[in-house]
Amino acid sequence: MRLFVAVLPPVEVLDALDALPRPTATGVRWTTREQWHVTLRFFGNVDDPAPIVEALSNALYGARAVDATIGPRAAMLGKRVIHLPVGGLEDVATSIERATREFGDPPPQRQFHGHLTLARTKSASGAIAEIALAHAHAWTVCAVELIRSHLHADGARYEALERFALGD
C-alpha cells in the first residue's frame, strides 16, 4: 500500500482554497478539496503499516501542537507543481523523518519545504500569476495522519489509516 504522513488543513482554510481562481490553461490539472494536504513524509509502497504506526506513536507521544501558515501567493515547485507554501511544520516533519527513516522510500536529502499542491502541469505554467489567497491563513495543527493513497486515472484518493494527536 502507498503511504504518507500529512497534515490536513481545517475547514476555513479549505474554504479559502475553494475560492481561489483556477485559470484555464493547457496541460494543468487542478487538485480537489479531497486531495488537499501537506505531506510531511512520503513512504511509497509499504507491505505492512504497523511498524510505521508504532514508530509514529513513539515519535509523536507528548509532541506539542504547532502553528502553521499557508500562502498567500502560489509558486512553482520544480517545473510541474503549482503550490502554496506552508510554514511552521519543519520540526514535526524532522521528528517524523528521524523516527521513520528505515521504512519505505528513503526520505529526500533536501530540506523539508511544506506546501499544498494546487495543480500539476505538463510544463511551467503562467496559470500561477493569478493565484493568491486574500491573505495568509494560520491555524494550530493538533494532529497528523497516516494516509493511504489509492491511485486513479482522475487523481489520487486518500484514506486515513491512523491519526496522531499533538497536545498543548
Q: Which residue has the higher pLDDT, 130 or 62?
A: 62
**Cβ atoms of 46 and 103 closer than 8 Å:** yes
> Which band of pLDDT confidence, cut at 50, 70 and 90, is reported for residue 56?
very high
Domains, the chain, ranges and CATH?
Answer: 2-165 (3.90.1140.10)
Interval 102-146: pLDDT, tens? 999 888 788 899 999 998 888 766 667 668 777 889 999 999 999
For the chain, what is the mean pLDDT? 91
Residue 108: phi, psi to the nearest 5?
-65, 150
> Which band of pLDDT confidence, cut at 50, 70 and 90, is reported for residue 27?
confident
Sequence-distant (≥ 6) Cβ neighbours of residue 146 within 8 angstroms: 3, 4, 5, 49, 52, 53, 56, 160, 161, 162, 163, 164
